[in-house]
Structure formats: structure tokens, C-alpha cells
């Protein structure tokens, strides 16, 4: 597993998609990413494959191939062959490493590599099922990401509005203090007129504040509405997945 959940955990979603197929879950839990756009390499698949052939680490290339294959159903056959080829190369590299460890008497580590080989053999045999599950998994994760990005943008807007409200309040208070000081040196008639102006300004400031408060309440209501729509959407997608 790569990262923890935000909306729906990788573990919960993946178990739902794999159902009772424990082996499918075990293999996919090693290759699916909670945040694919951040976790999966931006390099081209061909470059990742070349690097893997040099290093012996095919995981980044496999992760990339599964992600791309899940997102491109019209090219499914091509990606099936790509993943099977990567699995075959992984098996070959792992077998060589396993033989070396066995000769050195490191049986526990060799046994661990044996399980890796089994996973890759399973991947090659069940690649179509793997891509079907990955497609549903990443579809949900990308929807969640878009929702999170929009939610964070609204949160930043709310924080900025709160800061602006505080700034305006401080400016208004500073202005009132300055006007009170100015009135101390005024004659009676000037002071009376100044007080009238201040009342009008205070009334206008109160009206502006009330308008901002109304806008804030509307934003809170909109946030609640969006949250409810997102929940409804997640529930609908979950039901659709289970119906499939």
C-alpha cells in the first residue's frame, strides 16, 4: 500500500473490487496507488522499461503500464501484452537473483523472491482481470482527486474571506478611533456634524458587514450542498460497482 485514505481507503475500495479473490487483492495491493498522478512516474513507459532492464527493478514500469492500461480501454490488448512482457522480464530477473541467494545459503530471502515470482506469474495469467479492477479503482481515485482539489480551493477562498473580514474590521475600528480623536478639538457645531457623518458611516459599514455575512452563509450552504452531492455520487458509484 502506498498512502492512507482521504475519502475511501485504498484497502476498502480494493477489497470491494476484488471480492473474495484474495490472490488478486494481494497482487494489486502491490501495484495500485492511492494518488496515481503523484506516485506514478511521469517518464514514458518505454524509458521506464529500459531503466528496469538495467536495474532489475520493474515495479515502476509495471505500475505505469497498469495505470495507462486502466485509462485506455481501447488499447487494452496492447497493454495486456506489455504487462505480460514486463511480468516475464521480472520473473527472469528474479529467478537469477533467487538462484544467487540459494547458492549463498540465504534461503529466507530466496523464498521471498519465490513469492514474487508467483505474483508475476499470476499477473501474466490474470492481466485482464487486473486491468478491469484497476480501471474501476483509478476511476474512483481520479474522481476523488478532482473533488479534493476543488474542496481545497474553496477552503482557501473561505480562509481568505475570513482574513479580509478581520482586516476590514480592524480598519473600521482604526477609523472610528481616529474620528473620535478628531472630534475632541472641534467646536460644538462641527462636532455635531462629525457625529452625524460617523453615524452614517457606521450604518454603511454595518450594511456592508451584513452583506458579507450573508455571502458567507450562502457559501457555507453551498459547501454543504456540494458535500451532499459528492456523498450521493460516491454511493451511486459504489452501488454501480457492486452491480457489475
Give the model's confidence band at 3: pLDDT under 50 very low, under 70 low, under 90 confident, else very high: very low
pLDDT for 186 beyond 90: no
Q: How far apart are CA 32 and CA 140, in angstroms?
A: 12
* Domain segments of the chain as ranges: 10-135, 144-243
pLDDT for 19 beyond 80: yes
The whole-number pLDDT of residue 8 equals 46
- Cα-based distances in Å from 35 to 16, 133, 178: 18, 16, 54
SS3 185: coil
Kindly report the number of other CB atoms within 10 A of residue 138's CB atom. Answer: 22
CA angle 184, 190, 193 (to 5 degrees): 110
pLDDT digit string, tens, across residues 136-180: 999 999 999 999 999 999 999 989 988 988 998 888 888 888 888
The whole-number pLDDT of residue 47 equals 94
Supply 110's cell numbers.
530466496
- Cα-based distances in Å from 149 to 32, 54, 144, 165, 234: 21, 37, 9, 24, 16
Contacts 24+ apart (CB under 8 A), 148-156: 148/6, 148/7, 150/226, 151/226, 154/219, 154/223, 154/226
The whole-number pLDDT of residue 12 equals 86
| Contact between residue 72 and residue 40 where contact means Cβ atoms under 8 Å apart | no
Instruction: Round the average pLDDT of the chain to a whole number and report it.
Output: 86
pLDDT digit string, tens, across residues 45-86: 999 999 998 888 889 999 999 999 999 999 999 999 999 999
Amino acid at each position: 500500500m502506498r498512502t492512507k485514505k482521504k475519502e475511501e481507503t485504498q484497502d476498502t475500495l480494493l477489497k470491494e473490487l476484488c471480492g473474495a479473490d484474495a490472490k488478486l487483492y494481494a497482487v494489486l495491493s502491490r501495484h495500485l496507488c492511492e494518488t496515481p498522478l503523484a506516485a506514478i512516474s511521469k517518464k514514458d513507459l518505454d524509458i521506464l522499461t529500459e531503466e528496469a532492464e538495467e536495474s532489475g527493478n520493474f515495479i515502476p514500469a509495471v505500475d505505469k503500464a497498469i495505470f495507462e492500461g486502466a485509462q485506455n480501454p481501447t488499447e487494452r490488448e496492447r497493454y495486456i501484452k506489455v504487462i505480460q512482457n514486463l511480468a516475464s522480464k521480472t520473473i527472469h530477473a528474479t529467478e537469477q537473483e533467487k538462484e544467487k541467494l540459494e547458492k549463498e545459503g540465504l534461503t529466507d530471502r530466496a523464498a521471498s523472491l519465490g513469492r514474487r515470482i508467483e505474483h508475476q506469474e499470476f499477473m501474466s495469467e490474470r492481466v485482464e482481470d487486473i486491468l478491469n479492477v484497476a480501471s474501476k479503482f483509478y476511476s474512483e481515485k481520479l474522481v476523488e482527486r478532482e473533488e479534493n482539489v476543488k474542496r481545497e480551493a474553496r477552503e482557501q477562498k473561505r480562509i481568505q474571506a475570513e482574513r479580509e473580514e478581520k482586516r476590514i474590521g480592524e480598519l473600521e475600528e482604526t477609523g472610528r478611533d481616529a474620528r473620535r480623536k478628531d472630534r475632541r478639538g472641534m467646536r460644538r457645531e462641527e462636532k455635531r456634524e462629525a457625529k452625524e457623518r460617523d453615524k452614517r458611516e457606521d450604518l454603511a459599514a454595518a450594511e456592508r458587514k451584513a452583506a458579507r455575512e450573508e455571502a458567507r452563509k450562502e457559501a457555507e450552504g453551498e459547501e454543504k450542498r456540494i458535500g451532499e452531492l459528492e456523498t450521493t455520487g460516491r454511493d451511486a458509484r459504489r452501488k454501480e460497482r457492486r452491480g457489475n
